[in-house]
A and B are shown apart, each in its own frame.
Chain A
Amino acid sequence: MRIPVRLKNELTTMNTRHFIPFMLLLCSLFTSCEDMLEERPYSELDPSDVLTTVNGIEKVLVSAYGNMVWNNVKFRLTRFEGWPADLSWQTGGVENRTALTIMNWTWDASQDQFIGAYSRHYDAIRDANIILGNLDLVTGIADNKKASLTAEARFIRAWAYYRLYIYFGATPLRTSIDDPAEMPKASQEEMLQFIETELLAVIPDLPEPGAEAQYGRVTSGGARALLAKFYLNSKQWEKAAAACQDVIDMDKYQLFPSFEDLLKAENDGNSEMILVTPLSPDGPALNYMEGAFPPGFASWPEKNVVNTSWENHGTQHRLRESFYHSFDPKDKRREPILTSYVNDRGVTVDLLNGAEDNIRSFRFWPDVNAQGNRHGNDLPEIRYADILLARAEALNELNGPSEEAINLINQVRARADVHDLSVTDFATKEALRDHLVQERAWEFYEEGHRRTDLIRMGKFVEFARKRGVENAEEYRTLYPIPQSALDANPLLEQNPGY
C-alpha cells in the first residue's frame, strides 16, 4: 500500500514525538547509580543519635540491665540452682527432657540453657562496655551524672562476671569495646580481682538506697551486698563478714514481717530487698508458677488462692517431701508449700499422700495481675536475710560458733516464729555449718541459691551421691563452657572433666 507523502510526514513527526520522551527516560536511567544505592535504615537509629546523649546512653543501660534478666527467668531457679540440688525436682512436659539430665547430673555442653545464660551475660557486658567506651562523647553531661552512669555500667559488668564465675568459672574478661573478638579465659585470680576492684570502685558513686532515679536500678547497698556475697562465695570469709556488716550498718534494710507475703507481687520493693531483678507481667516476667501449679489447679481454699487466669503448663516443679518434713511444724516458712488443692472438677487432691515428692512451692505467690504464665513478682537477688545468714556463716567459718553468729540466725528465725537457737547447740564449726545448710534451705528454697550454697558449703556432690545420683562428679560443680561458645572462639577451653 502506498502512503500519501503528507500523511507519511505526519506519521514520522508523530513517531519522533514519541521517541524523544522515550529516549529521555532511557537516558535518565544512566545517571549516577551510586546515588541510587544509598538506602536509609528507617527503623533503626544512627549510633551518633544514641551515643552522644544522656538519654541514648541510658537506653543502652536499660538494655544492659535487661540482659541481666534471663531470657527464661525461671531457669536460674530451676535448671541452674534447683534441680541439680537437693530440694526440688521436676517431671512432665518437654522440660523433662532437659530436667532429667540435670537431676541425673548428665548435662552436657550442647544444652540450650548454658549458651542462653552465657551469651546473655556477655550481651550485658557488651552494652556496659559500649556505655563506658562512649561516655566521653556525650555532650553537656554533668560530672556527677557521668560518674553515676559510669558506676552503674561498671556494676552491671562486674555483676555479669560474678554470675559467669559462679556458673562457669573463669571466662574471658572483656573490659573494653576495643578488646579483640577472640580472647582466652582470664585466670582465676584476674577474675576475682576484677570483680572485687570494680565493685569497690563503684560503691562511692552509686546512689544511696532510695535515692536511685528509678526503683530497679542499683544502689550502693546493692553493690555492697553483691560484694559481700562475692566474698562469701569465693570463701574470703573475713572480707565477707566485713562487707555484710557494711550492709547492716547502712541501716536501710530490715526483714519484712511476713515470710509468706515476702515475695508477693504487691510487696515488690519492700525494705528487705537489697538487690532485685524487677519483673512485671508486661515486661520480663516470672514464669515459675506455670510449673508449680499442679494439674488442673483451681484453688487453694486455705489460702484463698483461686485460679482465674493463670496458665498451667505440663512441666511440674515439685518439692521433695523429706524437705517438707524437715521443717519445724510451727515454722512459718513451710506455709507457702502447697500440699493439697482443689482441681477444676472440684475434687480435692492431696499432694502429700499421693504421688511421691509432689508438693509445690508457692514462694512466688501467684500474681493476681499475671497475664497467662507471666507473673510480676520481683526476683530477689540478695535480700537482708541473706546478708544476715551470710555474716553468720562467715563468722562461723572464721571462728566457729559464736553468740553473734547465732544472734544473726535467730533474727531470721524469729520472723518464721521458730524457737531461738543457742550457741551451745553447736559444738563445732561443722555443726553450725550443717545447720546453716538446713537453715538456708528453709529460708531460700526455690529462690535460686541452693546449688551455689551447697557448693560453697561442700555439700553439692555429697548430697547428690546420697540421693543416688551415680554420675555426681566433683567437676560438675562448674557448668561446661557452652559448645557453641567453644566452636566460635578457638582460644576458649572447656572446663576440666567435660
Chain B
Amino acid sequence: MYAFCIARGCKIFANHQLVKLLIMFKMIIVLMMTAVMQAGAVVYAQKATIEVSNAPLREVFAKLRKQTGYHFLFLTDDLKAAEPVSLDVRDASLNEVLDLCFDGQPLDYQIRGKRVLISRKGPQAAVGKPLVQEREVTGTVTDENGVPLPGATISLKGSTLAIATDESGNYRIKVPDQSAVLEFSLMGFDAQEVAVNGRSVIKVALKTSVSDLDEVVVIGYGTVKRSDLTGSVSTIKSEDFNPGQSGGVQGLIQGKLPGVRVVESSGEPGGGYSISIRGAGSISAGTGPLWVVDGSPMAGGLRTFNPDDIESIEVLKDASATAIYGSRAAGGVIMVTTKKGGNVPLQINYHGSASVNHPVNNITLLTPEQYMEVSNAIIDDGGGNPEDRIESTGAGTDWMAEIFNPGALEHNHSLSFSGRLSDLNYYVSLNATDEAGVIRNSGFQRYGGRINLNYGGSNKFKFGTNLRFAHIEDQLINKAGVNENAGAVYAALFFDPTLPVRNESGGFTTAELLTINNPVAILEGEDRGRRINQFAGNVYGEYSILPSLSVRLNVGFDIGDNRNDSYLTRQTLVGAARGGVGNVDQTQNFDHVVEGTIRYAETFNDHQLGLLAGVEMQKFKSSGLSMHAEGFAADGTGTDNMALGNPETFTIGSSRAGNSLASAFGRANYTFKDRYLLTATMRADGSTRFGTNNKFGYFPSFAFAWHLGKEPFMEPVSFIDELKPRISWGRTGNQSIGDFLSITTFARGATAIWNEAQQVGLTPARLPNEDIRWETSQQLDVGLDFALFNSRVVGHFDYFQQKTFDMLMAVPLAVETGFATQIRNIGSIANRGFEFDISTRNLVRQGFSWTTNLNMATVHNEVTDIGNTLQVISGASGFTNSFLVTRVGQPLRSYFGYEVAGVWQTDDDFSQTTQNVKPGDLKYVDQDANGEINANDRVVLGNAFPDLTLSFGNTISYKNFALVVFIEGVQGVNMLNNNLVDTYFPLQNRRNKYAEPYLNRWTPENPSNKYPSFVSPGSQGQNVVNSLTVEDASYIRLKSVQLSYDFPSRLLGNALRGAQLYVAATNLKTWSDYSGFDPALNSGGDPNAMIDYNAYPLARKFQIGVKVDF
C-alpha cells in the first residue's frame, strides 16, 4: 500500500500521525501473515504412522488429522459408546488405520472429500434411556438437489436419542408425541429443526452450509458459487454491515468493500450518500452504480430499506459481471438481496436498538473575546470601518452549541416472522426507526414492512414475491443557500458570537452588519419536511420444463411518492421580508420492469454448460408538481394551506417525463474438468434516450478463470484450498443523461413584463443531437482469488483498466448560437487501479477466535480526450464557482485555482507585481510571470480521487463475547473547504471565522508566511479557490467498535432460541489534517469533486441493542 503512494509522489505522509498509523498497519499485516503461515506451513503426508495404547478414538483422530489433514466429524455422544483402541502402524493408508480403529466398534465411517464422517452403525441403533415410543416417523434426508444423504444424524430434541440415515438417505425414528421436534444434521450442511406435528413421513432437504468457497454469490440474473465466479464481485453479508446505520443502504457497506467508495454528503438522519465504484468514467452523465434489488433493477428508494431485511449485498465490478446489465452498468452494479424464510418452522426475530448521538465537530471558531480582539486589531490595521469596532463582548453565544442537539436519541425496532409452511417459505417483517438529528429540529422517522414469499418445494412450478413498503417522515434543515437564505449551520459558523440569542424584548437578536439570520431563529422559524411513501417489489414465476431447462418471468415495480414542504416564518429574515414563504414540491414515480428468462444447465462428463437468455422491458415514469406562495396572513397554517398566501406571489409548476428500455441478453458458462471456467455475456439495449439514428447498443463480455489449485500438479501443495487466476474483458454503457436529447422541443423561456404582468416565453429546450448514443466503458480485469490453509486465509486481488469512450459530454457550443452546450458522444476517460482484500482467521482456539479483514484499493483517473474543447470549467458552491477543470491528462474535475506562495513581507520587492498588495496580503504565484495575477494564473490544485482507500476490521470472539473493531481511511485526496473560503475571504468583516488562521495572522510583529493579515482579503479579486482552501482530506477513522454477547442456551429457557445483547460505537475517532467538520463529509454530493460547505455534521453514535429469536 505504501509503494503505490510513494511511486505516485503523493504528499499524504506529511502528517506524522498518519505515517505512524500506516506503519502500524503494515506491521500488523506482516505479523498476521507470519502467524498464519506458521500455523499452516505443515506439509501433509499421505500416509500415517500411529502408535497408541488404549487411547480414546478422539486422540487417534487428532493424530490422524495432524498427519493427513483430514477432518473428523462426529457427535461427541457417539464417541462415548466407542472402545479405546491400541494401534501400532507405520506408513499405513488412512483407510487401513480407520478400518483398524472401527473394528468391533458400534460406529461406522465414510470418507467424503477431505472429511471423515463418523456415525452410529445401523439405522435403528437407538441408545439412551427407554422412551414411551408412541409414534414412528420415517422419511428421507436429501440435499437441496434431492440427492439422498447417507449418514445424516436425526436426533430428538430434548433427549439423547439419535439415529443416522442409511445408504439411501432413509431413516426411521420413534418419537414420544406429536409435538416432538427432530433435529437433522450432517457435517457440511446447515442443521435443521422440524416439528413432527403429527406427521408420520417427513422429508427433509438439508441446505449446504456455506464456506467461503461454497457460498452462493448473487450475480446478474442468477447466482453462482463463489468458487465458480469468473468476474470480480465483492460480497458482504448482513452480519458484517456497519452498525448504527439506519438511514440508507449505502452506509451499511461504507468502507467495507475494496473499490467501492461511499461518501457521506450529509450526516443528517436519513443520510445522504454518494457512491462510486472504481473511479468515474463520465463527464456529463451520472457515474453512480445501478441498483438491483432481489433481481429487479430499480432506481432510488434506498432510504426506505430496513437494514435488518437485507441478507447480503453484492457489488459487481468488472465488465464480466456487469455487462449483462448493458447500458446502465458502466458505474458498476450493486445487488441487494433480502432475507427469505428458511426451511424451518416459524421463527420470530426481534431486533431493537437505541443510541445516543453526538455531533462530530472539529471546527474551532473564534471565541467572543478573540473575535473582538482580532476584529478590532484588523480595523486598527486599516481593514474595515472604524465605526464597526466592537466595544464589548457581552456574555457571548456559542452558536454551534445553540444549534446542536447532543445526546440526540435514536431507536430502531424490527420484528420478523419467517419460516416454512408446507411448500411456502415466508419472511414477513415490520420496522420502525425514529432518529433525532444532532442538529435541533431535525429528525427522521421510518415505518416499513416487507413480505417475501417463495412457493416451491419439489414442484416444477415455483413462484414468489418480494414486497417492500415504507413511509418516511423527515424533518430537514436547510443546507443550501447563502446569506439570509442559508441554513442554521452556515449561520452558526458566521454569526456574531458577541450577540445573545434573544434581545431584551424576547425576540431573536439580529446583527445589522450581517446579512445572516440568527441561527436559532432559522431553526425555529423554518419548517422543512419530507414525506416519502414507497411501495416496491417484484413477483416471479418459474417453471422447470426439464430438470435442466427452466423458464422464469419476473415483474418488478417501484411506486414512489415524495413530498417536500418548506415554510419560512416571519422569524427568519426572508420570511419577515416576504410575509412567510411556502413551497411544496411533490414528485411521483412509477417504474416497472418485465423480464423473461430461460435457463439451461447440464453436465456431460467433464463438461458443464450453463446457458441463460432473456428479454426485458423497463419503463420509468415520473411527474412533478410544485407551488410557491408568499405573503401569508399569518404563519400558523404554513404549507398546509397555500391558498392563504398572496395570490400575486403564487407560482406553480408541473412536469411529466419518462423513458424506456427494451433489452435482450444472454450468458453462457462453460466449465471443463471443474478447472477451466469460461463465461461470455451479451446484452442489447434499446433506449428512448438514444438518438433516432442509434437506438440499440450492444455490450459483450468474456471471462476466463482457471482453478490452478485443482490441477493435479498442485496436489502436493496442500495448503492451497483455492488458487484461481481470472481475466475478463467487456463493455458496458452509460445512459444517465436527460430525456429527449435527440428531439427539438420548446420549453419555458425567458419572461418579460408586458402591461405590468408577467409573460412566459417559449424557447427551444436544446439543440437536438439525433446521433446521441450510450457511452461505452471497456474494462479489462485481471484477478486472483485464493484460499489457503483450510480457508484460514482468503483473499482477492484485482487489477483493472477501464476506458470510457464515446463519452457523453455537454460540449460547449459557440455561445453565439444561443445554446450553451449540446450533449455529444465525444472524448474518453481512463481509470485504472488495484484492489485487494484479505480475510484471515488468525487464531481459532477453544472458545477463542480472531479474524481480520483488510482491504485496499487505488484508483487513477485520467481524462484522455475531450474532443476539440480545450477545457471544461465547472463547479459552483455558494458564491464560489468555476473551480473545477476537466482537461486532458488530468483527473476528471480537478480543483482549479491559485497557488499561494506565502505572504507578502515588509521587505519584499513589490515592483514584481501590479497587484494592489501590501505586506500581509497573500502572495499568489504568478504562473505566467506577467506581473499580474489573473485567471491565467490558475493551476490544477489536486483532485478528489483517492490514491488509496483502505479498511481494516478485526473480530475477536471469546466464548459468547465478540468484539468487532473497524477502521477505515482514505489517503491522497483533496476537498474544497468552501467554509474556509469564507474565513479567508469573509463576505462581511463582522462574520465569525475559523480561529486558527486569525489568531496567527500576519502582523509586522508576527511575520507569518502562512496566514495573511486579513486587512484587505479581497484586494486581489476572486482568488478564493487556492492551495489554502483546497485541503488535503486524507484521514484514518476508527469507524466502529462493537461488542456483543450471545446468551448461552442454558440461560434462555424454552421460550427463546437465542438472544444477543450488543453495544456499538460509531465514528469514534478520526485522524486528519482537514480543518472542516469532517474530511469525508462532502456536502457537494459528487464523490469525484468533493466540496465541503455548511455540511450537516456526522453523528458519533453510542448504541445498545438486543436481538431475540423466539
Please indicate whether A and B come from the same complex rather than being unrelated chains.
yes
Which residues of A are at the interface with B, using a C-beta cutoff of 8 A? 15, 18-19, 22-23, 25-26, 29-30, 33-34, 36-47, 49-50, 56, 59-67, 69, 92-94, 96-98, 100-101, 104, 106, 108-112, 115, 118-119, 122-123, 125-127, 130, 171-172, 174, 181-183, 213-217, 268-269, 278-280, 282-284, 295-296, 309-314, 343-345, 354-355, 371-373, 470-471, 482-485, 487-490, 492
Q: Give the chain B neighbours of A66 by CB distance below 8 A.
A: 749-752, 759, 761
B746–A44 touching, CB < 8 Å:
yes
Surface stretch bound by A, among B114-122, B269-277, B737-745: B737-745
B630–A470 touching, CB < 8 Å:
no
Partner of B657 from the list A34, A42, A94 (CB cut-off 8 Å) is: A42
Partner of B815 from the list A122, A215, A309, A354 (CB cut-off 8 Å) is: A122
B1021–A62 touching, CB < 8 Å:
no
- Closest approach, in angstroms, between the C-beta of B349 and any C-beta of chain A? 33
Q: Give the chain B neighbours of A310 by CB distance below 8 A.
A: 577
A56–B916 touching, CB < 8 Å:
no
**Distance of A214 Cα from B757 Cα, bound (Å):** 10
Q: Give the chain A neighbours of B751 by CB distance below 8 A.
A: 62, 66, 283-284
B816–A171 touching, CB < 8 Å:
yes
A42–B754 touching, CB < 8 Å:
no
5 closest cross-chain pairs (CB), A and B:
A126-B818, A66-B750, A63-B761, A296-B512, A63-B749
Partner of B753 from the list A47, A112, A283 (CB cut-off 8 Å) is: A283
B551–A23 touching, CB < 8 Å:
yes
**Distance of A490 Cα from B814 Cα, bound (Å):** 9
**Distance of A296 Cα from B649 Cα, bound (Å):** 26
A214–B814 touching, CB < 8 Å:
no
Q: Give the chain B neighbours of A182 by CB distance below 8 A.
A: 814
| Interface check B656, CB cutoff 8 A | yes
Given known A-B contacts A34-B695, A62-B762, A345 and B512 have beta carbons under 8 A apart: yes
**Distance of A397 Cα from B759 Cα, bound (Å):** 42
B596–A29 touching, CB < 8 Å:
yes
**Distance of A98 Cα from B985 Cα, bound (Å):** 12
Partner of B752 from the list A47, A283, A295, A345 (CB cut-off 8 Å) is: A283
Could you list 28 examples of A-B contacts with CB < 8 Å? A15-B459, A18-B541, A39-B659, A41-B745, A44-B746, A45-B745, A59-B760, A59-B762, A60-B749, A60-B761, A62-B761, A63-B750, A64-B750, A93-B515, A93-B988, A96-B987, A98-B1022, A110-B935, A112-B881, A127-B763, A282-B651, A309-B578, A311-B573, A355-B387, A470-B914, A485-B814, A485-B815, A487-B870
Partner of B688 from the list A39, A174, A279, A295 (CB cut-off 8 Å) is: A39
- Closest approach, in angstroms, between the C-beta of B754 and any C-beta of chain A? 4
- Closest approach, in angstroms, between the C-beta of B770 and any C-beta of chain A? 14
B753–A280 touching, CB < 8 Å:
yes
**Distance of A182 Cα from B812 Cα, bound (Å):** 12
A343–B512 touching, CB < 8 Å:
yes
| Interface check B888, CB cutoff 8 A | no
- Closest approach, in angstroms, between the C-beta of B383 and any C-beta of chain A? 11
Q: Give the chain A neighbours of B545 by CB distance below 8 A.
A: 19
| Interface check B638, CB cutoff 8 A | no
B761–A25 touching, CB < 8 Å:
no
Partner of A94 from the list B651, B660, B879 (CB cut-off 8 Å) is: B879
B871–A487 touching, CB < 8 Å:
yes
**Distance of A405 Cα from B754 Cα, bound (Å):** 35
- Among the interface residues A29, A44, A122, A181, which one has the most CB atoms of the partner chain B within 10 A? A44
**Distance of A369 Cα from B814 Cα, bound (Å):** 40
Q: Give the chain A neighbours of B815 by CB distance below 8 A.
A: 115, 118-119, 122, 482, 484-485, 488-489
| Number of B residues with CB within 8 Å of any CB on chain A | 105
A217–B754 touching, CB < 8 Å:
yes
Judged by DSSP, the binding face of A is loop
- Closest approach, in angstroms, between the C-beta of A174 and any C-beta of chain B? 6
**Distance of A98 Cα from B1023 Cα, bound (Å):** 10
**Distance of A37 Cα from B658 Cα, bound (Å):** 11
A37–B686 touching, CB < 8 Å:
yes
Q: Give the chain A neighbours of B764 by CB distance below 8 A.
A: 47, 126, 130
Given known A-B contacts A38-B688, A44-B745, A45-B747, A96 and B740 have beta carbons under 8 A apart: no
Q: Give the chain A neighbours of B596 by CB distance below 8 A.
A: 25-26, 29
Given known A-B contacts A23-B551, A41-B657, A97 and B985 have beta carbons under 8 A apart: yes
| Interface check B362, CB cutoff 8 A | no
**Distance of A181 Cα from B811 Cα, bound (Å):** 13
Closest to B139 in A: A1
A309–B745 touching, CB < 8 Å:
no
Closest to A217 in B: B754
Partner of A41 from the list B630, B740, B757 (CB cut-off 8 Å) is: B740
Q: Give the chain A neighbours of B761 by CB distance below 8 A.
A: 59-66, 127
- Closest approach, in angstroms, between the C-beta of A67 and any C-beta of chain B? 5
Judged by DSSP, the binding face of B is mixed
B752–A216 touching, CB < 8 Å:
yes
| Interface check B654, CB cutoff 8 A | yes
| Interface check B882, CB cutoff 8 A | yes
Given known A-B contacts A100-B1019, A110-B882, A181-B814, A56 and B686 have beta carbons under 8 A apart: no
- Among the interface residues A23, A46, A112, A278, which one has the most CB atoms of the partner chain B within 10 A? A278
- Closest approach, in angstroms, between the C-beta of B891 and any C-beta of chain A? 20
| Interface check B817, CB cutoff 8 A | yes
Q: Give the chain B neighbours of A488 by CB distance below 8 A.
A: 812-815, 869
A487–B869 touching, CB < 8 Å:
yes
Interface residues of B in 664-703 (CB under 8 A from A): 686-688, 695
B662–A314 touching, CB < 8 Å:
no
Apart from A60-B749, A487-B812, what are 19 other A-B pairs with CB-CB below 8 Å? Answer: A23-B551, A25-B553, A25-B594, A36-B617, A37-B660, A39-B740, A43-B654, A43-B656, A47-B745, A59-B761, A60-B761, A66-B751, A112-B881, A268-B756, A278-B752, A283-B753, A310-B577, A487-B871, A488-B815
B649–A282 touching, CB < 8 Å:
yes
Given known A-B contacts A108-B934, A489-B814, A69 and B758 have beta carbons under 8 A apart: no
Interface residues of B in 833-891 (CB under 8 A from A): 868-871, 873, 879, 881-882
A97–B515 touching, CB < 8 Å:
no
Given known A-B contacts A26-B553, A39-B659, A122-B818, A181 and B686 have beta carbons under 8 A apart: no
Q: Give the chain B neighbours of A92 by CB distance below 8 A.
A: 987-988
Closest to A118 in B: B815
Q: Give the chain A neighbours of B1022 by CB distance below 8 A.
A: 97-98, 101, 111
Closest to A127 in B: B763
Q: Give the chain B neighbours of A217 by CB distance below 8 A.
A: 754
Q: Give the chain A neighbours of B553 by CB distance below 8 A.
A: 22, 25-26
A104–B916 touching, CB < 8 Å:
yes
Partner of A100 from the list B386, B617, B750, B1018 (CB cut-off 8 Å) is: B1018
Q: Give the chain A neighbours of B879 by CB distance below 8 A.
A: 94, 97
**Distance of A70 Cα from B546 Cα, bound (Å):** 72
- Closest approach, in angstroms, between the C-beta of A254 and any C-beta of chain B? 21
B1019–A309 touching, CB < 8 Å:
no
Interface residues of B in 723-748 (CB under 8 A from A): 739-740, 743-747
- Closest approach, in angstroms, between the C-beta of B757 and any C-beta of chain A? 7
| Interface check B626, CB cutoff 8 A | no
Q: Give the chain A neighbours of B762 by CB distance below 8 A.
A: 45, 50, 56, 59-60, 62-63
Partner of A284 from the list B648, B655, B745, B752 (CB cut-off 8 Å) is: B752
Closest to B991 in A: A314
Closest to B597 in A: A26
Given known A-B contacts A25-B553, A44-B745, A63 and B763 have beta carbons under 8 A apart: yes
A484–B1018 touching, CB < 8 Å:
no
Given known A-B contacts A282-B648, A488-B812, A295 and B934 have beta carbons under 8 A apart: no
Given known A-B contacts A18-B543, A371-B578, A471-B914, A29 and B660 have beta carbons under 8 A apart: no
Given known A-B contacts A23-B551, A119-B815, A490-B868, A44 and B747 have beta carbons under 8 A apart: yes
